[in-house]
Chains A and B, each alone.
Chain A
């Protein structure tokens, strides 16, 4: 029922006003002018609730005084405050069209001069109310959400609650009761302890619950609202709520207690002038009860009281239910003339209400289809909208039935009724079609987006395969001149960037559509971190950065989605290297209290506090110029957050502009089972590093598959030359060479190979048929003739490892002696 709601919504406006801050005079020479201005502001605020006309005069006076103040930001804010008060008054005087341009004119200044303040929020909020009043529902919704954000930043939870209630009220007019419930609930969770706000919340929660058929829960909320009305000593509110209670009880079939509530309401109205205006509605509820009890004579008298002093052609929505009651009563009595008059009035109001519901619905739906609101569950939306269409159709059908059962009606009424029925049936059909159309359009748009991205990804991957594949093949050609190699590398790197873009886009689609799955299995965390660090070593070195990695305090084997965890860490380290020009990047992993914490810290450009939240939103890079300098989609961190959330963890950033950033991932730690004998083959070679020389890519693949799981570090290079470079940078416990890879470096092969590690630590796989190097190398390395079974290779390497260890031990003993 609309009447109590609309009155209580005015309360909301009043509440906003009273809490607004006053501008204070500071300059003594201007003290008088400031004092006058402040007095007008205060007067406007205190009059706003009871006498908006007087409030408007005060606001106009305040505005005039503000304009006389010496120019400057403070005076400008004073002017804005005056305009805000004026707009609030216009809003209450139902003159939204006059107020809207005023607010539009000062809103940009308010947001610039007083960003994230209560004044800015209040202006946005009133802009929303005015927009709603002029039919711009979508703008209203956006304004309310924005006001909510501003109030959040200004730290005024009370105003935040008001903004949420406004959104709830918006959904109320769209008859979307579950959402009404949700927003009012949220509002009361954010802020409690303000009687006026609470009474609105309880009353409107109750109305939503009642509309959803939860009468017991509604009764409880009405009870709270009543208690507050009594505490406020507001007879008018108490009577309104009692009328709502009665109406809800009637809906629930409990006529006796509905009557009791009405008696109570009448008693209060009789004693309080302010509540007397509610009496017509109380009579109306009584009429409905009498009619339901079959007492037609009493019902007629009561409903006549309700409509005694109103013009049936201009009644307000508050009368909707009573027109229907009057129609029922007069029809039963055979008074077709009066029945017809009320049917017309009912239809007029019902059409208007339905129009509001439909236009609000489609506007809200448009707003929902917004990339900002990715959390909205489209599936739920769809069923809700369809249900709503069905409900609308049902209520219209019930109305038609009602007309159909009116037996002894004059031909003219029947004709009118039929036309009305047909019209309304057509209208309902049209509206349902419209709702379904917009639903379908929404669905199609989302599906089209997903399909478009999937197809684009497929189509881009195919030419990328040509670019990346062929450049990779080219780069294996050792005769390539250095300058050509550089250029081919550039093409290849560009292709890689393009590939990561396509991958990122697909990941976003997956997270949006809920297709993201986390597959946990046993994983070597240390190896994962080492791999990621290794990927960035070269780039870090090229920029002169120190790249530190520490995982001593983290378990080696965990149960986690390796691919996704790798993606997250990769992303963070990539960012750290990208945004750091000098200093260091540190990757640290440790476990504490069943949590795994991974920190990626850098000494880079840092992130301003205001952007700490924004960087996790899709398509955001803090500074536009950053994109030009560093490239990237700005999707990486958004994906990271989605992934970490899907893994039941959190990701946070701590950073100061110009002073580096630290990203911290916190995940639930599931350590692998203690008994990992077979799964921990690293034991056989300990912390041993192996350098393999193999030119043939298939041989490289076999070595990676066979040896990879057994060595903590496995480096495969294509030539002896590359092996020498690798050995200068790192030390390797064992060296393995594929014979055919050595044959090309014929000059002084043996001593070159020996320089890598010596005979005890070097193994050559000799191809006796194609290129026998066994004689040439037997003094410098251990030789195994091909073909070699993987198991034989492993046991040979294990043997060499043991010998090298004992040789080391002997050397140590000798040194000690």
Chain B
């Protein structure tokens, strides 16, 4: 799988990269939302992981921009990865267009369970 991670914190990117690589998938990195949108424009990803709090454009706005696209990339599976602990954060993310939600610190099993659930619910052929 080709996964894009939009996240401003380089350490978090490295951690997720190390995790994702364990599964044989590839993690591409965007250090802010605008860069992320640009990379989506020019490349084909299977899944987007999106941080919420970033300098410049925030994650929720980026998700809205993706969902507003006219092409099939508007349907990209998106999982929010955040340290935001507001009580209704999960509902907000889903209402804002995300498929699912992972709370930092990220536990590997949770990461891959969420990816698997998201991909399976999209009817995607996950390698088994």
Contact = CB atoms under 8 A, between A and B. Distances in A.
16 contacts: A454-B86, A458-B85, A465-B12, A473-B22, A499-B105, A510-B87, A515-B87, A516-B87, A698-B112, A701-B113, A701-B115, A702-B116, A705-B117, A706-B120, A787-B127, A787-B128
A705 B124 CA distance: 14
A517 interface: yes
A461 B104 contact: yes
Interface of A is mostly: helix
Interface in B69-128: 83-87, 103-109, 111-117, 120, 125-128
A457 interface: yes
A458 B84 contact: yes
Contacts of B127: 698-699, 702, 786-787
Contact of B11 (A458, A466, A698): A466
Contacts of B41: none
B57 interface: no
Given A454-B86, A458-B85, A700-B109, 11 more contacts: A454-B85, A465-B105, A470-B14, A472-B107, A506-B85, A517-B87, A698-B1, A698-B116, A698-B127, A701-B116, A787-B125
Contact of B108 (A506, A697, A793): A697
Nearest to A502: B85
Contacts of A472: 19, 107-108
Contact of A705 (B1, B53, B113): B113
B125 A469 contact: no
Given A458-B85, A700-B112, A793 B128 contact: yes
B85 A457 contact: yes
Contacts of A788: 128
Name the 4 nearest CB pairs between A and B, nearest first. A701-B112, A469-B15, A698-B23, A461-B83
A766 to B, nearest CB: 11
Contacts of A704: 109, 113, 116
Contacts of A259: none
A765 interface: yes
* Residue of B105, B125, B126 with highest tally of chain A CB at under 10 A: B105
B55 to A, nearest CB: 14
A464 interface: yes
B104 A476 contact: no
Contact of B128 (A499, A516, A697, A765): A765
Interface residues of B, number: 38
A375 to B, nearest CB: 20
B16 interface: yes
Interface in A712-765: 765
B25 interface: yes
B44 interface: no
A192 interface: no
A470 B18 contact: yes
Given A457-B83, A462-B9, A787-B127, A697 B18 contact: no
Interface in A418-443: none
A122 B82 CA distance: 56
A666 to B, nearest CB: 26
B18 to A, nearest CB: 4
Interface centre among B103, B125, B126 (most CB of A within 10 A): B126
Looking at B15, B25, B84, the one whose CB has the most chain A CB atoms below 10 A away is: B15
A452 to B, nearest CB: 13
A510 B88 CA distance: 11
A50 interface: no
Contacts of A495: 105
Contacts of A473: 15, 18-19, 22, 108
Given A454-B86, A473-B19, A696-B24, A462 B128 contact: no
B110 to A, nearest CB: 9
